[in-house]
């Protein structure tokens, strides 16, 4: 989730927005006010809005949802207190973000997995990709590595031994189809499908683009032992905020599990 060409550049660009949030938003550091949660529109904000509309009142939780379409601002806003929590990311991405940006955001509870998938408007099977085909992949550090691991798991490429969550195309050991890689902001990958032969797309962006991961993906990430579950996160020290505890409980309730199963039909998987 390098969602922009360079995360550091995106942080600078997001600065004005986060300052704006601080100036006009409620003080999220107080445990007496509403809990404002930054979230990607799909499925995160949809899940949060289900909680807000159906479950929050019973727990005495005043929940407000702010939607963001990038993978940087939710963390910068959480760090500076513009929002009280966020829900959009996985652990490898957060670890990389904290390391690069000096933030101290921590996970609270894992809620769901959005399987990463390979999609195409030009071929029906991954094996049908021609020699020299162009594949779009996310350009943020973790999701780029995740995309390459997906292709390696399907035998399209082989990665060098020991490559971790910072793998790039330079870490490819074997590329029998001589695939070419177009590195794009994660949100742009589904929009590139008419211009490339295939694209690796994050689950949330696939759903937003009317792709059905469980049906449309040529290759889909396995949920087994998958480290990329998405979670509720807060700035370190706020884990015991009673509002956060209430939301964590509701996000992992049987009602939310049923909502995820019914609404996303396998394209989003509950992780609890």
Average pLDDT over residues 258-272: 92
Q: Could you give the 3-state DSSP secondary structure of residue 124?
A: coil
| More confidently predicted of 265 and 56 | 56
Judging by DSSP bridges, how do beta strands 35-39 and 198-201 pair with one another? unpaired
Average pLDDT over residues 191-212: 94
Smallest CA-to-CA distance from 237 within 59, 81, 13, 73 is with: 81
Taking 70 as the threshold, does the pLDDT of residue 141 lie above it? yes
| More confidently predicted of 30 and 119 | 119
| More confidently predicted of 132 and 22 | 132
Q: How confident is the model at residue 204 (pLDDT cuts 50, 70, 90)?
A: confident
- Token readout for 126 is 């991954």
| Type and span of the H or E element at 101 | helix 91-101
Model pLDDT for residues 67-121, shown as the tens digit of each residue: 999 999 999 999 999 999 999 999 999 999 999 999 999 999 999 998 899 999 9
Query: What is the total residue count of the chain?
Result: 272
What pLDDT does 35 receive? 98
Taking 90 as the threshold, does the pLDDT of residue 181 lie above it? yes
What pLDDT does 48 receive? 98
Average pLDDT over residues 224-232: 90
Q: How confident is the model at residue 11 (pLDDT cuts 50, 70, 90)?
A: very low
Model pLDDT for residues 14-24, shown as the tens digit of each residue: 443 433 443 34
Share of the chain above pLDDT 70, in %: 89
Smallest CA-to-CA distance from 267 within 202, 188, 207, 193 is with: 207
What pLDDT does 22 receive? 38
| More confidently predicted of 30 and 254 | 254
What pLDDT does 266 receive? 83
**Dihedral (Cα; 109, 112, 116, 121), 10-degree rounding:** -150
Q: How confident is the model at residue 30 (pLDDT cuts 50, 70, 90)?
A: low
Taking 70 as the threshold, does the pLDDT of residue 8 lie above it? no
Which ranges of the chain would DSSP assign to H, the alpha helix? 7-24, 46-54, 56-59, 73-80, 91-101, 141-153, 203-208, 213-216, 242-251, 254-264
- The tokens 């993906």 sit on which residue? 217
């Amino acid at each position: 989730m390098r969602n922009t060409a360079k995360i550091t550049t995106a942080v600078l660009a997001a600065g004005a927005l986060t300052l704006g949030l601080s100036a006009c938003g409620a003080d999220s550091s107080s445990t007496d006010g509403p809990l404002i949660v930054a979230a990607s529109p799909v499925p995160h904000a949809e899940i949060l809005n289900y909680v807000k509309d159906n479950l929050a009142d019973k727990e005495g939780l005043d929940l407000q949802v702010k939607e963001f379409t990038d993978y940087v601002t939710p963390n910068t806003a959480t760090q500076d207190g513009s929002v009280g929590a966020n829900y959009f990311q996985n652990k490898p991405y957060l670890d990389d973000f904290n390391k690069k940006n000096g933030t101290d955001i921590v996970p609270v509870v894992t809620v769901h997995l959005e399987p990463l998938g390979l999609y195409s408007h030009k071929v029906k099977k991954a094996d049908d990709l021609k020699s020299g085909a162009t594949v779009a992949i996310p350009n943020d550090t973790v999701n780029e590595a995740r995309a390459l691991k997906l292709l390696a798991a399907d035998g399209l490429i082989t990665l060098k031994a020991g490559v971790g969550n910072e793998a790039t195309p330079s870490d490819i050991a074997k590329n029998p189809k001589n695939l070419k890689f177009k590195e794009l902001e994660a949100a742009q990958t589904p929009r590139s499908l008419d211009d490339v032969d295939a694209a690796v797309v994050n689950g949330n962006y696939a759903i937003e683009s009317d792709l059905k991961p469980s049906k449309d993906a040529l290759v889909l990430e396995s949920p087994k032992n998958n480290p990329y579950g998405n979670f509720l996160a807060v700035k370190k020290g706020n884990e015991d905020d009673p509002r956060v505890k209430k939301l964590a409980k509701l996000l992992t309730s049987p009602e939310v599990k049923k909502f995820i199963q019914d609404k996303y039909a396998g394209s989003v998987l509950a992780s609890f």
